[in-house]
Amino acid sequence: MNNVPQGNQPIFIMKEGTERIRGKPAQSNNIAAAKAVAETVRSTLGPEGADKMLVDPSGDVVITNDGATILNRLDVEHPAAKLIIEVSETQEQEAHDGTTSAAVLVGAILERAEDLLDDSIHQTIICRGFKEAHDLAKDELATLGWDATEEDLTSVAMTSLTGKSAEGAAEVISAMCVEAVQTIGDEGTLDDIMVASFSGGTYDESALIHGVLIEKERAHSEMPASLNDAHVLLVTEEIGIKESKFDTTLNINNPDQVKDFLAQEEEMLKGMCAEIISTGANAVFCQKEVDDLAMHYLAKAGIFCLKRVKKSRMEALKKATGARFVNGLEDIDPEDMGLASSIEEVKFGDYHCTVLKSDRTTSVTAVLRGSTGHSLDEIERAWDDAMGVVFLSARAKKLVAGGGGVYAHLARHLRLKAATMGDRKGMAISAFSDALESIPKTLAENAGIDPVDAVLALRKAESADYGINTQGDVVNMRDAKVIEPHKVVWTALGSATEAAIMILRIDDVISMKAGDGGMPPMPGMMG
């Protein structure tokens, strides 16, 4: 790229091959990219939303209507499009649901902004208007909603599951979510709610297990299949003879030397097992491998053992039993042991597992079942969303009605504010209110309802509790038990507005290419 001062040679500012788009074309390009991403997930919004089939380069197929999954799997290059995906990631992390709504909202805000730009309203004024509209909407949103009850938690889960492939098991999963939150208590976290998935079953065979479930069976068939009042040892190192890090050579001159060598190894393994037995432990969970001969000695001593236990499950076992991690068998202390009220082998279809229960822990494990790999993936995604919003509702307490009623109410509120201004900023606020109505409009479109009629009907609604149902009627969504966490709307509104303003403020896109193209900088030139 170069600049040519009058009467002088070109001054090279950027490397050859650098692309630059400025002004209105840059804005239009960014807005178009963001709208394209929003349009990708728009048809998945709501209980009647369509599914998407995603095929990756290796041929793996994912069928889902989960907005977060779709956006995360999109391989996009445009920087503005990546911003929309970041919005969905923020929404997923903060509110566990509403990713599609957030993306649709960004696209709608930018579409209205484009109309204002076409009317020669400066981007700075538009951004100020959108920021004020956001603040006014947040102030009004803070006055909406009610505190969650136990019955509401079930409705929140049901609302989240509606329209998903796992909807057929909505009652089972909703009950599991509520029970899980109640079991872990006020001090529990989502890490205390573990998940194990097994194919070969149906959605309604899913169940909640109280305790820590490990997808492993006992290491030796002669070990006990169940224990009560178990003394637990958690070993993080291999139970066996460690391989030397250096290449070694053994000179063997006769068979007796081989026997002596094997006997020495056997004595070492027997000594390791004796260390374990001497502590009084009758259950050993090892994060790494356990030697076959060591398993034999442990089985003879009536000790239950699992090998190659995942680190996450080892952490859960530590919390559940109060045991300490043992790094080496040479210095085991009886105080390293923990206690479990019971350890038992269970079976889900063809899968053998172990369940540890303890009076010390409130941890639970959701066992999810699906007939195929695709259906299992979908119920996992549905569980994550439902569990997330139930946990959020139980902690934050505050809920609002679904069906697009809150967005329609906020749009009505902003439109009244904009009418009192009568300036360009008021036009931006009015445009923002139109963008908010894109949520109920999209819900209506996806349900096969005339979107204009739906929005006009919602504008006459009595309160934010009224939304549009799948038949096109405006009903009290709180009474219909279609509800969601207040934070889902709060987060979507904030992240969508921030992303839209960020994109609008860009008037220059500089794309730098890799490599050393162009002239080398000369004295007096800009780098």
Catalytic residues: 66, 99-100, 385
Ramachandran category for residue 448: left, alpha or beta (phi over 0 → left; psi -120 to 50 → alpha): left
Tell me the residue type at 249.
T
Angle, in degrees to the nearest 10, between helices 150-161 and 170-184: 130
CA-CA distance, 65 to 97, in Å (whole number)?
Answer: 12
CB 27 within 8 A of CB 505: no
End-to-end CA distance of the chain, in Å? 12
CB 197 within 8 A of CB 215: no
Pairing of strands 226-235, 283-286: parallel
CB 430 within 8 A of CB 517: no
CB 93 within 8 A of CB 56: no
Nearest alpha carbon to residue 156 among 489, 491, 492, 482? 482
CB 467 within 8 A of CB 477: yes
Nearest alpha carbon to residue 405 among 471, 449, 448, 454? 454
C-alpha distances (whole Å) from 81 to each of 63, 77, 205, 488, 510 are 22, 7, 40, 22, 16
Structural tokens at position 461: 């609604």
Burial class (CB in 10 A: 0-12, 13-18, 19+), 361: buried
What is the DSSP annotation of 283-328?
A: EEEESS-B-HHHHHHHHHTT-EEE-S--HHHHHHHHHHH-PPEES-
Ramachandran category for residue 246: left, alpha or beta (phi over 0 → left; psi -120 to 50 → alpha): beta
Nearest alpha carbon to residue 484 among 443, 434, 435, 428? 443
CA-CA distance, 131 to 250, in Å (whole number)?
Answer: 77
In DSSP terms, which residues pair with 343 in a beta bridge?
227, 356
Distance of CA 389 to the CA centre of its chain: 11
CA-CA distance, 158 to 175, in Å (whole number)?
Answer: 9
Cα atoms in the 13 Å half-sphere on the side-chain side of 193 = 25
C-alpha distances (whole Å) from 212 to each of 57, 277, 423 are 37, 24, 62
DSSP state of 467: E
